[in-house]
Amino acid sequence: ENVDLQKTAFLLRKAWTLYSVTPLYRFHRARLRDYARLLSAFIAAEKQKGLAVEVGVELDIKVAVSSLADLRGSEQDQAAVLVQLSLRSRASSRNSEDKLVWLGWFCSVYGDDLSENLPEDFTCLPLFLTHGAESYTSMVGSWFQKTFDCCFRRLAISPLNLSWMVAMWAGCKLDRAASAVELVFSVPHLSQPLDISYAIHPEDAKALWDTVQKTPGEITQEEVDVFMDCLYAHFHRHFKIHLSAAKLVKVSTAVASAHCDGIVKILHSQYLLGVLMLLTELAISQIQ
């Protein structure tokens, strides 16, 4: 699981919007440069149609598509594919630095469940993460859908999955001072909406999880339930409120944070693949 920290540093501390993607038909890794050119032309055409608003100087969108060899779980996984959109101002003739405006990458970390029984023409990269304006995401997504006959869907994260994440991540051992383990609940259907933020000192959250988890390296649904019940009970003891009846919308730890709308931030390189593995699993279950 040796991921090149330098190359993957750009993944950390960014809010990524998640999508599930069905397998790509006839995607060839040798043709990445061609794809970049075709996507660039597509985006230029979309802009001509007036789908993107431009003010002042005409701006060129430069597209780069590359392979991230290390970003995968096992040898069965396809290596991740990164798409970068940069803005290059035509007005300056010198080689002024391009401004990165949008990032998107496809990946699969231990996605064997999906790739196992696929015919050869299909490339399995079920998780798609984007960072940048929605208008660009839409254009890139449309091009991929047309070109590779695949289907993108926003990946929602259920409260059940969020509770798995917070239990797992709260238990992670971290070498430096960690931020709080925070759970955010929403109670929408009252006369006035109510949001509840429940933040636990990371040492205390980890201590609790350590007594709940019976087998190291293995997590069961029962253990997650006990962990959550403990947190709910402690809250109820003080406030007499049944937090379990509220909607868990966001969890945040020093390892990563996740929002039910399918937005994730990975904060710690040590657990990058672990988080991606979990997200790949979610993407695959949304596809199947």
Partner 1 sequence: MDETVAEYIRRTVLKIPRAEIKTMLQKWGFLSEAQLQTLNFHQIKDNISQEVVQLCEENSADIKQAAVLDIIYNHIYQNKKMWSVYQMKKSGEELECFDITDFKKKFKGRLRSALKNVTITFKEYEDNAIWIRVAWGTPYKKPNQYKPSYVVYHSQTPYVFICASVLKSNLPLLCQALIVASNYHDIREMELRSHSLDSLKDIVFKRYSQNFQTYCPKPLQGGNVEPESADIRIVQENRSEKERIHRLNWEVFGGGPQPKLEFAQYKLETMFKSDPKMGVLDKKEPFRCLVKFSSPHLLESLKSLAPAGMADAPLSPLLTCIPHKARNYFKIREKKGLFPESFVSP
Cα three-residue angle 172-227-260, rounded to 5 degrees: 75
Residue 239: HSE in the Cβ half-sphere, 13 Å Cα cutoff = 11
Cα three-residue angle 25-26-30, rounded to 5 degrees: 140
Interaction residues for partner 1, span 206-235 (CB under 8 A): 207-208, 211-212, 226, 230, 233-235
CA distances from 55 to 50, 87, 204 (A): 12, 13, 52
Residue 191 binds partner 1, judged by CB under 8 A: yes
Interaction residues for partner 1, span 142-181 (CB under 8 A): 180
Q: Which of 5, 15, 118, 194 binds partner 1 (CB under 8 A)?
A: 194
Span interacting with partner 1, options 7-15, 64-72, 83-91, 236-244, rule CB under 8 A? 236-244
Residue number with CB closer to partner 1 (164 or 209): 209
Number of residues that bind partner 1 (CB under 8 A): 33
Distance CA 163, CA 169 (A): 10
Rg (Cα) of the chain, in Å, rounded?
21
Amino acid identity, position 117: N
Span interacting with partner 1, options 44-52, 61-69, 151-159, 190-198, rule CB under 8 A? 190-198
Question: Which residue spans within 48-98 are E strands per DSSP?
Answer: 59-68, 80-89
Q: Which of 30, 192, 216, 217 binds partner 1 (CB under 8 A)?
A: 192
Tokens in use for 16? 């990524």
What's the closest the beta carbon of residue 226 comes to partner 1, in angstroms?
A: 7
Residue 198 binds partner 1, judged by CB under 8 A: yes
Residues that bind partner 1 (CB under 8 A): 180, 187, 189-201, 204, 207-208, 211-212, 226, 230, 233-235, 237-242, 245-246
